[in-house]
Structure 1
Amino acid sequence: MNMAVIRDAATSAPQVLPVDKATMSRTTNPMVAFERVSKRFAAGKTGAEVVALDDIELVVPRGSVTGIIGRSGAGKSTLIRLVNGLEKPSSGRVLVDGVDISGVDEKNLRAVRRSIGMIFQHFNLLSSRTAFGNVALPLEIAGMGKQDIENRVGPLLDLVGLADKRGRYPSELSGGQKQRIGIARALATEPKLLLSDEATSALDPETTRSILALLRTINKELGLTVLLITHEMEVVKAIADHVAVIDGGRIVEKGSTFDVFTGHTHETTQALLGGLAGMHLPEFLTSRMSPQPEPGSRTILRVIFKGENATEPMLARLGSELGIEVNIMAGAVDEIAGRPFGMLVVSLRADEVKIAAARQFLATHGLLSEVVGYVR
């Protein structure tokens, strides 16, 4: 057991806590690391440079599901192409499992790529091959024997729930089934890292949920690191442990998915998330709201519930313990990265002293609150 030193927030005294070796490996030995990475392309006949990525600093923890989100043209696809060596950085380093991808020759790059699986938006299956044949293709290219291929492909088809479709051709499969075959093929070479480039954007919501559940199962059961590129916020919210927001070729926000979604500060993140992790006030309320209290007005309070406190009856306790009349005006409860998150808009009939006491009560129990206005 290794030990780590942290500082107590109240006393500044050092505390020594045990650190699990697996946790230390994830943080100090990431599966992917971008070190001051920039990528520039020559554009048009003038040869003027276009900066696709600018000074990217990012780590993908080993064993995690990490999402990269951004608008079209933000640099997401360029970033993922650097990971599998299809592009080389103009400056900086991209490390995959400790190997500098840009620094290896073509022969060694092929070996590294066998440790990286890739699933695509449009499946990229060969129409002339059966489901079995598509999954077997990378193994045939690697020179694996027929029986070894059978021993590898059969269990993979079973893993993705398509053992009974091994003889079917892509034209006979649904979109979700095609993507499952694509996932099985990506796993055929037993990779350490799985890259997903908008893998669910061509699928309907129900099929998307089933594919995400499959990816999470693969991540947990096989210990596979997953790096996914997407513009779909629901995808990141449902599956990713960590997220980075990219805009104009730069990482503008990053962290745990829960923290970024519930405490985002950058305007790009806010625009991408929209109402996903927040809640817009209903018009019937905003049309009557004023920024300053008036005689007889009620205070409108936005209360944010995070983590374990999201399911506690704090508002009921607020009324019973402080004697404040609480009326719920709007609300939403969600789950982000497996953790509950809720937001309520309430009106309180109380003077400023009691409002301050109410907010202090909520803060004491780990709930955030803000006064958004006053309504008569």
Structure 2
Amino acid sequence: MITFEGVTKRYGDDAKSFTALDGIDMTVSRGAITGIIGRSGAGKSTLIRLVNGLEKASSGRVVVDGTEVGQLNDAGLRGLRREVGMIFQHFNLLSSRTAFDNVALPLEIAGLDNVAIKQKVGPLLELVGLGDKSTRYPSELSGGQKQRVGIARALATSPKLLLSDEATSALDPETTQSILALLRQINAELGLTVLLITHEMEVVKTIASHVAVIDKGRIVEQGPTFDVFTAPKHETTRILLASTLGTTLPEWLHSRLKAEHSVGDRILVRLTFFGATAFQPLTARLVSEIGGDVNILAGAIEEIAGEPFGTLVVSYPAAPEVIERANRFYAATGLSNEVLGYVA
């Protein structure tokens, strides 16, 4: 649906220019939900604004469904924007218009008559769960309801692509989950391609099938969400995910970790369960293999892009024969493991 080919975006003149995007190469698959994550100022918003022509690339090509955005004139951009819906962090509703009239606005601009508008807006409000709120003004709606109106408005012109610019970051966690569920429903029922930018790792983990990580204007890592989240290769990705996935040791234990072991120490190992190992009783089998002196220190169960993912931190004696038996077990079962260190 979208292709970025060597896209660079600079602001300012040569003497005082700032490069917001630097050689972006990326594709967004048709019908997929793709997330772009990164720190504030990484270039996320600039990237998404190139898709509907709100910004123009300094060099490179942005191609949306076969159309090169940078080559469009004003009329061509208006046509593109009818096919690309957008939802915003702060909703951007007109306070003087009801929910119905906010959704109707792009249809009015497109020149539809009142009968056609009514036939379109009513079902859209029903789709987003606000069929009984059509006469309410934004001041009478909650944050989640306002965002639902914004989503209905973005769908009014029957777009093939939906852009989400930090659409859940102003919402509480429960409301965020309801909005994400709605976006999943829209993606499934309408076959709509969704490109979302966010700094919230939980959002991408919950909804996106594919993800790209942007840092200082460059895509540093991209791929299926499960692969990127469970085996991040770039340091920026690992930092962004540090507080989102896996297990965190308590500080009193973390501070005691040593890189080398002495006689009588215990080894701390993080076990990761996914794919073929997700549903097997491997912890019990590990205890059986190396003996009963195994402690479980921390654990977490996750779901990433609909797939199970779990981690356990265990400790057992750092005796060479015990470690050797454990390593044979890991090799035989394919259980992913990482040595965190040793404690007295």
Letter in structure 1 aligned against 2:188: K
Residue 297 (str. 1) matches residue 283 (str. 2): no
* Alignment correspondent of 1:343: 311
Which has the larger displacement, 258-267 or 342-351? 342-351
One of 205, 228, 245 as aligned partner of 1:260: 228
Letter in structure 2 aligned against 1:332: A
Cα separation, 2, equivalents of 1:50 and 1:178: 35
Cα separation, 1, equivalents of 2:75 and 2:91: 26
1:152 Cα deviation from its structure 2 partner = 1.0
* Alignment correspondent of 1:26: none
* Alignment correspondent of 2:74: 106
Cα separation, 1, equivalents of 2:272 and 2:105: 50
Kept after mapping to 1: 8 A contact 2:264/2:319 = no
1:265 Cα deviation from its structure 2 partner = 2.4
Residue 369 (str. 1) matches residue 337 (str. 2): yes
Kept after mapping to 2: 8 A contact 1:314/1:362 = no
One of 135, 138, 145 as aligned partner of 2:113: 145
1:360 Cα deviation from its structure 2 partner = 3.2
Which has the larger displacement, 130-139 or 346-355? 346-355
Cα separation, 2, equivalents of 1:371 and 1:175: 45
Cα separation, 1, equivalents of 2:313 and 2:329: 16
* Alignment correspondent of 2:288: 320
Cα separation, 1, equivalents of 2:76 and 2:265: 71
Kept after mapping to 2: 8 A contact 1:262/1:278 = no
- Kindly provide the CA deviation profile for residues 218-245 of structure 1, in whole angstroms up to 9, marking residues without a partner as x: 1111111100011111111111111111
Secondary structure of the 1:79 match is: helix
Q: Normalising by structure 2, report the TM-score.
A: 0.95
* Alignment correspondent of 1:129: 97
Cα separation, 1, equivalents of 2:80 and 2:176: 29
Cα-Cα RMSD: 1.6
* Alignment correspondent of 2:58: 90
* Alignment correspondent of 1:236: 204
Residue 33 (str. 1) matches residue 3 (str. 2): yes
Kept after mapping to 1: 8 A contact 2:261/2:318 = no
Which has the larger displacement, 164-173 or 278-287? 278-287
Kept after mapping to 1: 8 A contact 2:289/2:326 = no
Letter in structure 1 aligned against 2:12: A
* Alignment correspondent of 1:310: 278
1:364 Cα deviation from its structure 2 partner = 3.2
Secondary structure of the 2:294 match is: strand
Cα separation, 1, equivalents of 2:44 and 2:257: 41
* Alignment correspondent of 1:223: 191
One of 114, 134, 146 as aligned partner of 1:178: 146
Cα separation, 2, equivalents of 1:251 and 1:48: 24
Residue 75 (str. 1) matches residue 57 (str. 2): no
1:311 Cα deviation from its structure 2 partner = 3.3
* Alignment correspondent of 1:356: 324
Unaligned runs of 5+ in 1: 1-30
1:257 Cα deviation from its structure 2 partner = 1.1
Kept after mapping to 2: 8 A contact 1:308/1:340 = no
Residue 248 (str. 1) matches residue 216 (str. 2): yes
Q: Normalising by structure 1, report the TM-score.
A: 0.88
Higher relative contact order (CA 8 A, sep 6+): 2
Unaligned runs of 5+ in 2: none
Kept after mapping to 2: 8 A contact 1:359/1:369 = no
Cα separation, 2, equivalents of 1:57 and 1:192: 22
